C-alpha cells in the first residue's frame, strides 16, 4: 500500500459503530436459612444499560497541514502517531461491538489547537458523550479541564505521562504512569531486593529539571524509611562518585537523566568500574524509563545488570498480540506501531466496562483490573486528581533485549 493511500484511506471526521446490545438480567440469590428466621436475599444493583454508549475521540490529525507530496520522514512519523492510535482504537471497539454491544464513536480532529477543542462544546453529539478520550497532549487536557468539571464528563488522558496534579480534575482518567510512580517502583524493588547493611544507594543526578523530577520521589522514598535504613548518596556524575567508592560494598546506582549526551559516558564509566583488571566494584544500574527509546550499548547495559521501569512492553509471543497484529495487517495493510497497541487496549477496556456496567461503569474502574497487549490497567481513585493507572513494569537487559522481571 502506498504512503498516500495509507494515510488518506483512514482519515475520517467521524465513525459510528452500531450494533444491538443484549439485555443484562439481574440475578437474585436464594434466602439464607437460619434456625429461627429467614434473611431476605441481598439485592444486586441493577444495571442501567446505555441504549447507545457515546464515545468521543479527540486526536490531533492536523489534516489541514497534510501535504503528502512535500512531507519528510519526520513529518510522516509525526502524523503516524494519531492515525496509528485511531486505527488501534477502532479495532478495540470493534472487538467489543462484535459481541452485540452498541456504541457511537465520534472522531474529532483537534488540530492540536485549543480553539478547535472549544468549538466542540457547542456540538450536540459531543455534549452527549458518555466518555471523552483525549486530548492527547497536556496543554489540551488542561484546556479541557473546566468543561470536564462543569459538566461532570469523564475524560481519558490516553498518552501523556504527566502528573495528574497538573490538571486538578477529579474526572480525569490517567492511563500512562507518571514519573513519580516509576521512581517508586524502582525504589520499592531496591528496598526489597538489597540488604541495607551492605548496600549503598547512589543517585547520579546532574539536577536539570527533568532529572530532578525522577530524583525527588526516589529520594523521598528512602527519606521516609521506617525500618531498614539504606545509606543514600548523591553525585552530579559517575566521575565524582568514583572517588568515594568502597571495595566490598554493594552499590545500587540510579541514573536520573535521560539526556543521551550525559547517560552514554556514564554507562561507559560505570562499566569500567565494574570490570577493573584489578577487581571491579559490585554495582548494578537502574535507569530512566526513556532509556527504552534511546540507543545505548546493549553489552554494557547487560554487564551492569541494568533495570529500567516502563509503562509499555509488547510480548510478541503472546497469542492475543499475534492475533491483533494479524487483524491489523488484514484491516490496514501494514504493521501496527506502539500507539496502535495502546489505542486497542484503551478502547477494549473502556468499551467492555461500559457494555457490562452501563451508566455506572466508572464505579468499577478501580475494581476491574485489565491485562492488555501493552500493559496492565490497575486504577486507584483520588478524589482530587481522578483515576490513576498505577501499573509499572520493570525490565532488565538480557540476551540483547528488554525482558520483564516484575
- CATH 3.40.50.2300 domain extents, the chain: 3-32+42-176+316-391, 180-310
29, 344 contact by CB (below 8 A): no
Q: What is the pLDDT of residues 202-229, one digit of tens each?
A: 999 999 999 999 999 999 999 887 666 8
**pLDDT confidence of 116, banded at 50, 70, 90?**
very high
- The span from the CA of 37 to the CA of 238, in Å, is 74
pLDDT of residue 26: 28
Residue 154 has pLDDT above 50, yes or no: yes
| Amino acid 69: pLDDT | 58
Residue 323 main-chain phi, psi, to 5 deg: -65, -40
Reported as a pLDDT band with limits 50, 70 and 90, residue 39 is: low
- CA gap 323, 131 in Å, rounded: 27
Neighbours of 141 (CB within 10 A): 26
In this prediction, residue 22 has a pLDDT band, given cuts at 50, 70 and 90, of very low
Residue 85: name the closest of 387, 398, 345, 399 by CA: 345
Contact predicate 320/379, CB 8 Å:
no
Q: What is the pLDDT of residue 9?
A: 38
pLDDT above 70 (res 386): yes
Task: Examine the pLDDT at 47 and tell me if it is beyond 70.
Answer: yes
- Report phi then psi at 399, rounded to 5: 50, 40
Residue with the larger pLDDT of the pair 29 and 312: 312
- Give the pLDDT confidence score for residue 50 in this predicted structure: 86
Instruction: Give domain 180-310's CATH superfamily.
Output: Response regulator (3.40.50.2300)
Helix axes 338-357, 73-97, angle to 10 degrees: 30
307 and 396 Cβ atoms separated by less than 8 Å: yes
pLDDT tens digits, residue range 124-142? Answer: 999 999 999 999 999 999 9
CB 247 within 8 A of CB 267: no
Alpha-carbon distance of 48 to 66, in angstroms, equals 43
Peptide bond into 135 cis (omega under 30): yes
349, 89 Cβ separation under 8 angstroms: no
Q: What is the pLDDT of residue 314?
A: 96
Quick one: pLDDT at residue 241? 94
Q: Where are the beta strands (DSSP E) in 114-217?
A: 131-133, 155-157, 172-174, 199-204
For domain 3-32+42-176+316-391, the CATH class is alpha beta
User: Per-residue confidence at 74, pLDDT binned at 50, 70, 90?
Assistant: low
CA angle 310, 91, 336 (to 5 degrees): 50
Quote the Cα angle for 80-83-87, to 5°: 135
**pLDDT at 378 > cutoff 90:** yes
Q: For residues 342 and 328, give the distance between their C-alpha atoms in angstroms, rounded to a whole number.
A: 13
Check residue 397 and report its DSSP letter: E
Percentage, residues of the chain above pLDDT 70 = 84
Amino acid at each position: 500500500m502506498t504512503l498516500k493511500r495509507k494515510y488518506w484511506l483512514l482519515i475520517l471526521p467521524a465513525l459510528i459503530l452500531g450494533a444491538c446490545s443484549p439485555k443484562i438480567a439481574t440475578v437474585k440469590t436464594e434466602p439464607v436459612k437460619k434456625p429461627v428466621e429467614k434473611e431476605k436475599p441481598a439485592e444486586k444493583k441493577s444495571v442501567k444499560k446505555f441504549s447507545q454508549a457515546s464515545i468521543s475521540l479527540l486526536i490531533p490529525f492536523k489534516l489541514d497541514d497534510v501535504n503528502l507530496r512535500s512531507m519528510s520522514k519526520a513529518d510522516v512519523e509525526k502524523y503516524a502517531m494519531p492515525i496509528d492510535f485511531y486505527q488501534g482504537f477502532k479495532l478495540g471497539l470493534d472487538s467489543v461491538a462484535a459481541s452485540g454491544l452498541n456504541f457511537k464513536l465520534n472522531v474529532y480532529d483537534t488540530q492540536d489547537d485549543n480553539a478547535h477543542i472549544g468549538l466542540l462544546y457547542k456540538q450536540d453529539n459531543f455534549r452527549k458523550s458518555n466518555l471523552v478520550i483525549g486530548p492527547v497532549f497536556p496543554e489540551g487536557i488542561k484546556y479541557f479541564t473546566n468543561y470536564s468539571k462543569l459538566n461532570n464528563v469523564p475524560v481519558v488522558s490516553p498518552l501523556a505521562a504527566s502528573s495528574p496534579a497538573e490538571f486538578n480534575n477529579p474526572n480525569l482518567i490517567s492511563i500512562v504512569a507518571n514519573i513519580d510512580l516509576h521512581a517508586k517502583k524502582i525504589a520499592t524493588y531496591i528496598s526489597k531486593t538489597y540488604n541495607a547493611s551492605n548496600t549503598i544507594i547512589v543517585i547520579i543526578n546532574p539536577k536539570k529539571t527533568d532529572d530532578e523530577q525522577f530524583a525527588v520521589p526516589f529520594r523521598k522514598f528512602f527519606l521516609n524509611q521506617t525500618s531498614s535504613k539504606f545509606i543514600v548518596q548523591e553525585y552530579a556524575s559517575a566521575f565524582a562518585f568514583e572517588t568515594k567508592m568502597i571495595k566490598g560494598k554493594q552499590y545500587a546506582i540510579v541514573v536520573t537523566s535521560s539526556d543521551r549526551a550525559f547517560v552514554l559516558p556514564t554507562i561507559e564509566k560505570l562499566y569500567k568500574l565494574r570490570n577493573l583488571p584489578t577487581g571491579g566494584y559490585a554495582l548494578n544500574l537502574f535507569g530512566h524509563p526513556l532509556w527504552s527509546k534511546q540507543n545505548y550499548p546493549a553489552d554494557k547495559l547487560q554487564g551492569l545488570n541494568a533495570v529500567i521501569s516502563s509503562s509499555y512492553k509488547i510480548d510478541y509471543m503472546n497469542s492475543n498480540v499475534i492475533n491483533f497484529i494479524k487483524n491489523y495487517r488484514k484491516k490496514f495493510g501494514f504493521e501496527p506501531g506502539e500507539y496502535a497497541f495502546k489505542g486497542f487496549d484503551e478502547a477494549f477496556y473502556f468499551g467492555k466496562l461500559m457494555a457490562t456496567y452501563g451508566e455506572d461503569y466508572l464505579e468499577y474502574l478501580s475494581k476491574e483490573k485489565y491485562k492488555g497487549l501493552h500493559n496492565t490497567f490497575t486504577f486507584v481513585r483520588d478524589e482530587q486528581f481522578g483515576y490513576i493507572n498505577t501499573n509499572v513494569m520493570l525490565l532488565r537487559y538480557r540476551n540483547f533485549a528488554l525482558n520483564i522481571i516484575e
